[in-house]
Every structure is written in C-alpha cells, then in structure tokens.
Amino acid sequence: MTSTASHALDSEQRRGKALLQSLCSRCHAIGPVGASPHPDAPPFRTFGDSKLYDDDFAQRLQTGLSTIHKDMPSFRFDRADAEAAVNYLKAIQVRPKRR
C-alpha cells in the first residue's frame, strides 16, 4: 500500500492536521502511519474515498459529527475548518498499489 501523503501539505491541509491533532488524536491515528491509541478508533488514513468524497461528510462535520461509539464526543466545525479537515484527510489516505 502507498500513501498520497508523500508530498508536502499545503497551508489549508496543515491547518486541518493541527485541528484534527487537537481534537481527535487522543483516540485516532491522524497521520499517514501509526496505530490509533483507542482500539475502536480507525486511523484517519483508512477512511477512503467513499467517506471523504461523500458530499455530506464536510456538512456533517459542520452540523455536529457523532457516531455510534458512546465514548466519542460530538464535534462541530465551522465551514472553513470542515473543509481544511477534509482536505487534510484526503491527502493522507492510503491507496492500494497499482499492479
């Protein structure tokens, strides 16, 4: 598997990374490598296209993201922060190697 994160992050992606670091890294692996501290929290690099390219994902970040996990807090992002977070997440996704 390879990652698209081999290039430098732009300023919006760096802002998204910092935001996710402050809010989410207690449970999730937020970078292109490493395990999540919480065993039930998926690494952000594994979200994949189906979640990140869903038109509703950034909107759900703005209206209050919550999950079925009882110990995950609900977060609410403003539009710019939601877009920065999604832009960063897209940059770190692991892609299967092409054959």
Reported as a single tens digit per residue, the pLDDT across 76-99 is: 899 999 999 999 999 999 876 666
Nearest alpha-carbon partner for 16 in 95, 78, 68: 78
> What distances in angstroms separate CA 64 from CA 5, 33, 39, 80, one per listed residue?
27, 27, 23, 14
Higher-confidence residue: 58 or 43?
Answer: 43
Non-local CB neighbours of 69 within 8 Å, separated by 6+ positions: 40, 41
Reported as a single tens digit per residue, the pLDDT across 19-54 is: 999 999 999 999 999 999 999 899 999 988 777 777
Query: What's the whole-model pTM score?
Result: 0.80
Nearest alpha-carbon partner for 25 in 49, 81, 94, 16: 16
- Name the 3-class secondary structure at 38: coil
Judge contact between 3 and 99, C-beta under 8 A: no
Place of tokens 């395990």: 35
- State how far the Cα of 26 lies from the Cα of 29, in Å rounded to an integer: 8
